[in-house]
Each structure stands twice: as structure tokens, then as C-alpha cells.
Amino acid sequence: MNGKSVELQPAKKNRRKIIRSIAQLIIVVLLAVILIKAVFLTEKRGAETVPLNNKEGFIALSYFGVSRNESPKYVSKKNLEEQLTLLEKQGYQTITQKDILDFYQHDKPLPEKALYLSFEDGRTDSSIFAQNIMEKLNYKATMFTYANKMDTTDNKFLKPKDLKLMEKSGYWEMGSNGYRLTYINIFNDKGQSLGVIDENNVPNKTTIEYYNHYLMDFIRNQYMIPSETRQEMEARIKKDYNLMQDIYHEELGGSP
């Protein structure tokens, strides 16, 4: 025999086994990484490096809600995409809450065309219809919520688990509208005072001529004269802020 077979060369046989085992391990690790990304991780927003030379200010744009189709109350998904895409083509880049705080408190400049984007009331439809658009444009927005909607069964509003996933994706920040969506000092189109009413109990909204929000004014009588003292107003508002903070800390681990 001119040479020994592999079976008769233990050293060579062992080397091949080791090489084969290493190759198999590498393949298994690569497959595991792909599986983890596919199953456990959501789409992540990529960080942008842009020149910061704007000391003038920014544009703030807020949407009340997003609907699948045209609606007199909400912007449609199609219109939202057209509007934000146009802004993106014109060079507008979204900024964060921290960017705004740094701008005002530390004179830190912003991108040349800075846009603060937000959606109101923590609506589920806004999250669903806006998500793909945000990913496509690499935009970031604040989702404002009401604390007392955190533990309701109303699927119209996002729940804590939804908000945590949104925040984890990098496309969203959390914000707060307060504890409740309640209107005060409501007057209808006949000039009649309707007092203080929760959002869900407001009669035909097309007949409402004037109103204000619970945290933004004195509660007033039919002559618009305050029916509470300043101390009473501050105590009322403080109570709502305490309730708000308690719920956010319990459900989200901190206040937005």
C-alpha cells in the first residue's frame, strides 16, 4: 500500500472531526441568531447622524387620530403617508423629547429642518396605521396617552404592553395628556352651560360651541365666573396628577 487509509490515521481523522464540529457549530449559531431576530425582536429604528446647526426652533405636528379611510375626524392612513413623505422629501427630520429639552435648557442646536411629531389620546388605530409609515421614513413620534385608559377594556386605547413594545422599537416615545379626558366649561350652540362632562358622556359633539380641558382652567358657572377658588383648583389638579403618576409608575415603571 502506497499510503495509509484515513481509518488507519487517527490524528488526521480527529482533525477532520474537529473541523466538521466547528463548522456545524458556526452554522447552528448563525441559524439561532436569525431565529431570535425573526421571532423575538421587532423592527428597530436606526439612528441618524445629521448636522446640528439650527438654533431657531422646530415645527410641531400633532395628529388627533389615524383611520383606515377618509374621516371628518381623523386623518386617513393614505393622507398621513402623503403628508409625512412630503415632509421627509423636503428634508424634515424628527426630533425627540430630549432634543427639545436640550434645545431650551442647554442651547443645543437641532437639525436644520426639525420636526416634533406626535399622536394624541393613545389610540390603537393611530399606532397600527402609522407604524409602517414611521418605519419607512425612519421617523420617531410621541404617543400621548391618558393614564385612566391604562386598565380599561376599551380596545380603542393602547394598553401598557402595547406601549412598551412601541417604545422598544425606537420609533415611539411615551407622553401624557394627563389622568383623564374630561371637558369643563362646556357651552352648546344655544349658549347653554353644560358644566363638566367626561368625554364618553358628551352629547352630540357637533352642537358644542365651546369647551376647555380639565387641567387647563377654573371650573366656571354659566356666566364664566370661576366657581372654585385658586386653592380648590390647584387641589383638584394636584389630585389628578397624583393619580396619573401612580398609574404610570405601576403600569409602565415611570411617568412619561
> What total number of domains does the chain contain?
2
Q: Mean pLDDT score of the chain, rounded to an integer?
A: 87
Residues 6+ apart with CB under 8 A from 169: 42, 43, 44, 45
**Residue recorded with cell 386617513:** 76
Q: What angle do CA 175, 104, 249 make, to 5 degrees?
A: 25
For residue 49, the model assigns a pLDDT of 67
Q: Which residue has better confidence, 29 or 90?
A: 90
- Asked whether residue 77 falls in the same domain as residue 167, the answer is yes
Does residue 194 lie in a domain region? Answer: yes
The answer to whether residues 184 and 224 belong to one domain is yes
100 in a domain, yes or no?
A: yes
Same domain, 173 and 116: yes
Q: Domain check: are 159 and 194 in the same one?
A: no
End position of a domain, from candidates 143, 160, 178: 178
pLDDT of residue 12: 60
- pLDDT at residue 52 tops 70: yes
Return left, alpha or beta for 115; rule: phi > 0 is left, psi -120 to 50 is alpha, else beta: beta
- Beta strands 110-111; 52-54: pairing state: antiparallel
Per cent of the chain over pLDDT 90 is 72
Indicate the residue among 145, 162, 178 that finishes a domain.
178
Q: Which domain does 219 fall in, by range?
A: 180-256
Per-residue pLDDT tens digits for 129-168: 999 999 999 999 999 999 999 988 888 999 999 999 999 9
* Mean pLDDT along residues 191-201: 92
Q: Report whether 145 contacts 256 (CB < 8 A).
A: yes
One domain, residues 104 and 163: yes
Domain boundary among 125, 153, 178: 178
97 and 167 co-located in one domain? yes
Distance CA 111, CA 138 (A): 15
pLDDT of 105 over the 70 cut? yes
Residue 34's pLDDT is 47
Is the domain of 56 the same as that of 103?
yes
Residues 97 and 114 in one domain: yes
In a domain, 43, yes or no: no
Looking at 9-18, 183-192, 233-242, which range is the least confident one?
9-18
Q: Are residues 152 and 173 in the same domain?
A: yes
With contact defined as beta carbons under 8 Å apart, do 212 and 190 qualify? no
Is the same domain home to 108 and 135? yes
Beta strands 182-188 and 141-146: pairing type? unpaired
